[in-house]
Every structure is written in C-alpha cells, then in structure tokens.
Structure 1
C-alpha cells in the first residue's frame, strides 16, 4: 500500500483523490503535510462560491475580505490565479451590501478584462429586477466584461450554467449581457404570476384579437370516447370568454380560467433563446409559482409548436427535466435524440400521455415520471383529464425507470413500460411491478 508521502509526491494522484473530498476535508488534508499543500491550496481556490444560503447572514463580509486580500497582496500572492469556476448564488448580483458594495465585482471584472483570470465555468443566477439604481453601472459593467471574456473563448474553453426567469432573457436584454452560445446548463424558472411589463395573458389574448366566446370542445358529448379521438392541432386555441355563465352556481369569471397557453410573448422568448443555445447539455424548466387555475382544453398553437420543435432540435442536450406546468398540462415536450435522461413532474393529462405514448425516446436510458394530483379538482370539466388505459408505448431502450401516481390517469402505464423494455434494471422492474399492484 502506498504511503501518504508517496501519494503526496505524485501531483496527478493528489488531485484525483482531492476531487472526492469536501472543502473542509481538503483543508484538513492541507494541514497534514507539505507534500499535499500545493494541490490542496489550488483545489480550495479553484471554485469561488458567493452567497450560498449559509453565507447570506454574514452581510457580505466574505466579499469584503476577499476584495481587500486581492488589493493588498496582489494576484501573485493569493490563490486567485487558480480560480477556474465562479458560482454566483441567489443574492450575488442583488444584495447591496456584498458583492457590489465591497468592490469585489469590480475587481473580478478587471481581472477578466485583463486576462489575469483564466475562468473556465460560471454559474449565474440571473435576475435583472432586483438590483438597486446605484448598482446598475457596476452590475452591467461586470456583465459586459463577462460577455466580452466569453466571446474570446471557444465553447470547450468556457461554459455557463444560468438560472433565470425567461422573462429576463428576452432578446433585447440578453443580447447585451450574456453570450448565449456558451450556456451548457440552463434552468428556467417559470413564474406564472410574474407579468413583466405586459398585462396578464388573458388581456394579451383579447388585445391581439385571438378569440372570443368559443368552446374548443363544444361538440363533445361522450366522456368515455377513445383516447385517440382526433384534434385539429393546427387550429389556433381560443380563450374562454369572461361573459357570465352559470357553472355549479358560480359565474365563469369566478373560476379563474388558466390562460397560460395563450402567452405568445413567453413562447417566443423561449423559442428564440433555446434556438441559440447550440451547446446546451442540460435543460430544466420548472414552475416556481403556479396559481392552479382551472384548465381549458388544449390545442397546439403555432407558437407552442415552434417551441416544441426548437427543444426537439437541440443538438447536444443530454438531460431534460420539466417540473410543474409548462403552459398547459397537455403540452408534451419530446426530447432530442441526443438525450439520455428525461424527467417529467406535474399534472399530466390524457393528451400529454398520447404524445408520450408515440414518442420513441431514441437514446433515453433513464426516465422519471411523476403524476401529481390536482387536489382541488380545478381541472374538473376538461376532457383532457380522464382515467383510462394507455395500451402501449413506443419507448424501448430504458435501463432505469421510475413512475409515480400514474394510476390517477393511466393505470397500465407501468405494465406498458415493462412489456416494452426488457433491459430494465431489477430495481426498476420491482418498482414498476409494485405500481401495478401485483408481482412480475
């Protein structure tokens, strides 16, 4: 067995071991031997994290101390030259007493502009609504320096992970401050209560004269018809009118009909943004606030069809996660052929299952689906929500699969997955079998 002195003398082996240790453990190892000191010191400086949850209460002291250290000792006498990743957490670009006020934002921006900081990766929580007017010049100055730095780099030399509300990434804003092509990981937070500078979706629909009083399912009579009943998916959807109508003794206007599927502005922003993220490897779209309104029937409009196609054509996507509502519970997003891992989590309807059933998931090996209940039954009355068999699925190459709550919509989904995917790991087989209520 090799001794610690032998391991410490081999720099590559030291770095291999260090990557499995936490920062406190790395610091402890640094104190044990001079042989480990260089590798541990470099590793501790390699990732600069600002404003994790545990740091919020320090009133920005970390930023002040780091800014002072760099200014007094210089680059060569600190570990700044070893920084390869910067993680700007939730309050980094918005907290007025830390990153900006300490001057650290200016120091790091100057290092990027001068080429003294060889940054490889940046994780950024991006929200342009939280900064104070006094912060604007320095904040946008730093973002512009970051953009110029990233444009000098090739995609394999620099990458970004961005967490943002897509409203703040619309073309006019993101073109100024972010190099979209360098984003490899994107987490979009769909805040359905945030309206930006526009009125709500319902008013936008009426202003654009997209519809009036029309029930998309007015001719529907039999709630037990086949899952494959035809729909004209090229037809533009029409919003439900706010004119008075008696439904269970309540006015229709009091039922708060969900109109998210008519938000063409948001669909356009997402389509434009994702069409430019040619190096994207991981995409997460999740709802952070959803008002849970009553859903109307869904038909695929041209803007949503364009968004669906854009996501389907992402060339390098490896992981796709959709959590919560994306415009409507019936809006199914098929993954690109390059995708290996897919997760859907939300209120999912029969029409969503129809799209899922016909999707081959070409190279997907891990699939996770979680059906959430509409506990307040606000989807009641929409024909897209019925409990009925699925009968078959196209997906054939899964190695791991987890399904929760499918009995509320498609009771035979687990059985369909089991029949079509003989290569499933035993744990997945047991999980799907237990969902069916009987052993394999």
Structure 2
C-alpha cells in the first residue's frame, strides 16, 4: 500500500496545496522525509501584508507564511539567527497593499522586517524567483511610504534573465506607482490594470450633482493613457494583460481629441511580441461602465496573441473596425460588449460614428434609447478555433450586429465542432425568430425548417462566396410573407368550421391542427 512517505516531492506538492498551514505543520512532524518536503514548501511563499491598525489584520492564506503578523519574524531571526529559519527556501514574495505595508508607521517597517529582507536578498541568502505585487489602492500614494524593498528587488531582478525571475502586477493606481521608479518593467509577465477614469464632457448638471456630494472630478484620461503606454513600452516580456476600465465618472467626448495618445498606446501594444492573452474589460460580464478610453477606440492585439476578450462599451464604429481587422494569431475569441447607449450622460458626440448620430430625432427625448440593429457584412478574422458570446450579451438583441455569428461561422472553418455547432444553432434560431416576428407561434414548426434551409443556402455547405447574412434576412422576410398568408388562410378555414362547436381542444381538432401544420411543412 502506497503511503505519503513513498511519494516523490513533485507528487506531494499538489497535495500540500490543499492543506491548511496548521495541517502541513503537523505533517512535517511525522517523519524526516516529510519534514524535508514540507519545510521548504511552507517557506517557499512569503506574503507581506501589514496595516497601520492591528484590528484590520483579519486575513489569512493557506500554504504560505501567513501575512498575519509576519513582521514578528524579525524578532525570531534576532533570537535564533538567519540560518536556523527557512529563508533560503523562499522562492516567491507576494506584496499586498504596499501603501500600508511599506508605510513608515507599519510594523513591517518599524520592526525592521523590511530591512531584514532587503539584506537577505542583497546577500544572496534568498534565491528569489517571483514577486507578485497587488496594489488595490486607487488614491494617491501617501508621502510616508518606504519603497526601499521594491527598489532592492528591482536591482536584484536586473541581474536575472527572464527565465530566472518574473513579476506579476495588479494595480489600480498605475500613474503614481510608475512615478516611484521601483519597478523593473522588463521582468513583468502578467499584468492586471484597473483604470478609474473620470472627467470628459460632463454636462453642467452632472458636475453640479457630483459637487453636491463633495465628489471632485479631475480629468485623468490623458494621464492614464500615457501611464499605460509607458508601462507597455517597457514590459517586453509580458505574456498576459488584463485591462479593466471603470468609467462611472467619465463621459467621453470626440475620439479625435484622443487620437495621438491612443495611437501611441496601440504602438506600445504592438511591441509585445510575447503576449499570449489580452482581456479588455471585466473578465466575466459586460458592463456599461467599462469605457476603454472611448467607445469607438478599437485596440488590436499583437500578432502572437492567441486568446482575446473584449468586454468594454462599443459603438458601431468600434464594430466596423473589429470586423475589418484580421486578428492574426487569435484562436480563442470571447465577446461580451455592452452597447453605447443614447442616454444623455452616456452620449458620445463623434462624427466618426455617423450611424449613431442619425438615430437622434429632433425634438425627441433620447433618454433610454438604444441603437438600432445593424450589419457588419463580413469579418476579416479567419483562424478562430473557439468563439464565445457571453450570455448577458443577449439581454437586448438589438445591441449586437445582426450578422455577427453568421459571419464568424462562414469565415472560420477551423472552429472546433462544439463551438461550430453552437454558433450554427444560434444563427438558425436568429433566422427562426425573424420568421416568427409578429406572427402566431403556430408557425413554429415550419419556421425551423425554413430557417435551417436558409442557413445551408447562405451560410452552410451550399453557400456561395458573395452570400451575406443581410441578404439572407431579406429573403427570409419575403418567404415569411408567403407562408404567413398561406398559413392564415388555412387557419381561418379551420376556425370557421369549429368556431360554434366550443371544442377547440378536443383530440380530433388537435390532430387536425397538427395535420394543418404538417401540410405547411411539406409545402416548405
């Protein structure tokens, strides 16, 4: 019978991952072999987190040195010495809330633990392989923060190759963090940025409303674009990039005022030759407060990016740019975009998006109106293997291009079978809804057959090169009228024979109705 003591360390590590720290401490006391495996594991990851107020220390993380009172290690080291503890096993340091952890008022600094780590890294007694920095503070960094440990890590990383050391960064205050000069951008491999955008072309009433709540709105759009551009220009080894805009206090104006900064941002992104995954917007659901600098700004992924996700607010101009871009290298595409609404404080006065401008009717209130249905005609992307639309995307069917899925289906023959079948079913359902729109559901059975036949003629195996979903919808409208007229005549004849008998739901009449529907289907 196999026991834990017979397993090699590579098999034990996944097991230890699911154990609580106290259980790992108990396990390492059972035998010398498990002690030799568990001790390096429990020391391998060190989390630094400190608050100025001790009562705020409520967090704990399993399987790594707890950030709960980790600063006390300074006293233990003074008592027993560096070699008696497991510093040499530390491979990863996770730093949370640097604005409080590195504050000169924090216990990490006052107790001397930060200085201890700096000395151990400089002397080579800690062979650091990875640093994860999570900065969830969206406000300016206080002046009493000591970033000397980050500067020491930066110097250490400059002597390492990309394969020997890496850094992951999650920040909500990118411009202030960059101004510290404490980051070596070349070692960044994973980056998550939250942009809290504010300013723009708010109406006077909107500004007065914020001022009544003592909320000061300062335009930071150019600042955020330039900071992101600076970071991406230096992060040449970046593999994953997630950008989440928060724009509840931002109302964009014309995109032309942002042309040059956005062009620089696109150039910086194009230089990320190792980027494999790009996510713009919330990771799980679309949001109408996720304006990525401008609803008409389409940022294209670099050539080697395989996974792409857009979840921002998009205008019709955005969709046109998306449709025209070949997205070279992209294999997995996920869309969860929200529409650019015409509600007053979300309106974008941009001549580039003339189709949206034409929706405004003089003298009519625009509050609550959505854009009309539209077509993109075709897509330039050809290499997709997976394509996903978030469920929330269909809350309002008027918010997406009518022919989006049909175009993706026709142009991407390499889609895996599951995704191809799902898209086909969605397209056929869309055609079927077009047939049934405004008419009796009694046509449901024959509508499916009509929709399937049109799909094969225009999108499937029988499709000609110049076919389009837009033309298919036109044909459906013509054919729908023909079948509705015929169906109505037959139904009227049936109703005349049964209107005075008060047994519409008898088995005989239900069978007759089925025959009636079957007749129409056979005629189709």
Q: 1:128 & 1:103 partners in 2: Cα distance?
A: 27
Q: TM-score under structure 2 normalisation? A: 0.63
Higher helix share: 2
- The gaps in structure 2 that reach 5 residues or longer are 61-66, 208-216, 282-289, 357-370, 431-451, 456-524
1:68 deviation in Å? Answer: 2.5
Change (3 A) 1:168 1:361: same
Q: TM-score under structure 1 normalisation? A: 0.74
Would you say 1:148 and 2:155 are equivalent positions? Answer: yes
Aligned counterparts, 1:25-424, within 5 A: 26=24, 29-30=27-28, 33-51=31-49, 56-57=57-58, 61-90=68-97, 93=101, 96-126=105-135, 132-133=142-143, 135-136=144-145, 139-164=146-171, 165-170=173-178, 173-174=179-180, 176-193=181-198, 253-254=204-205, 263-293=221-251, 295-296=253-254, 301-323=259-281, 324-373=290-339, 377=343, 378-380=345-347, 382=349, 384=353, 385=356, 386=371, 387-404=373-390, 405=393, 407=397, 408-424=399-415
**Greater displacement, 115-124 / 25-34:** 25-34
**Greater displacement, 86-95 / 399-408:** 86-95
Would the aligned equivalents of 1:308 and 1:334 in 2 still touch at CA under 8 Å?
A: yes
1:71 deviation in Å? Answer: 2.8
Q: 1:416 & 1:295 partners in 2: Cα distance?
A: 31
Change (3 A) 1:312 1:58: closer
Q: 1:284 & 1:309 partners in 2: Cα distance?
A: 17
Aligned partner of residue 82 in structure 2, secondary structure: coil
Correspondence for 1:6:
6
1:39 deviation in Å? Answer: 1.6
1:311 deviation in Å? Answer: 0.4
1:375 deviation in Å? Answer: 6.9
Would the aligned equivalents of 2:132 and 2:167 in 1 still touch at CA under 8 Å?
A: yes
Change (3 A) 1:270 1:381: closer
Q: 1:76 & 1:266 partners in 2: Cα distance?
A: 45
Change (3 A) 1:30 1:379: same
Q: 1:370 & 1:51 partners in 2: Cα distance?
A: 35
Q: Deviations over 1:14-41 (max 9, x none)?
A: 44x4476455575565455542221222
Q: Deviations over 1:341-378 (max 9, x none)?
A: 11111211111112211222222221111122557834
Would the aligned equivalents of 1:402 and 1:431 in 2 still touch at CA under 8 Å?
A: no
Change (3 A) 1:22 1:421: farther
**Greater displacement, 19-28 / 140-149:** 19-28
Instruction: State the number of aligned residues.
Output: 375
Correspondence for 2:416:
425
Q: Deviations over 1:383-430 (max 9, x none)?
A: 635431122212222222211326413132122222222332344345
Change (3 A) 1:403 1:307: same
Q: 2:190 & 2:15 partners in 1: Cα distance?
A: 25
Would the aligned equivalents of 1:349 and 1:409 in 2 still touch at CA under 8 Å?
A: no
Q: 1:334 & 1:33 partners in 2: Cα distance?
A: 56
Q: 1:416 & 1:398 partners in 2: Cα distance?
A: 12
Would the aligned equivalents of 1:261 and 1:327 in 2 still touch at CA under 8 Å?
A: no
Q: Which has the higher contact order (CA 8 A, sep 6+)?
A: 1
Change (3 A) 1:421 1:273: same
RMSD across aligned C-alpha pairs, in angstroms?
A: 3.5
Aligned partner of residue 124 in structure 1, secondary structure: strand
1:66 deviation in Å? Answer: 2.6
Q: 1:113 & 1:178 partners in 2: Cα distance?
A: 17
1:88 deviation in Å? Answer: 0.8
1:65 deviation in Å? Answer: 2.7
Q: Deviations over 1:157-210 (max 9, x none)?
A: 11111222221244xx25x322111111122221113xxxxxx6x6xxxxxxxx
Change (3 A) 1:305 1:381: closer
1:382 deviation in Å? Answer: 4.6
- The gaps in structure 1 that reach 5 residues or longer are 194-199, 203-239, 243-251
Change (3 A) 1:293 1:263: closer
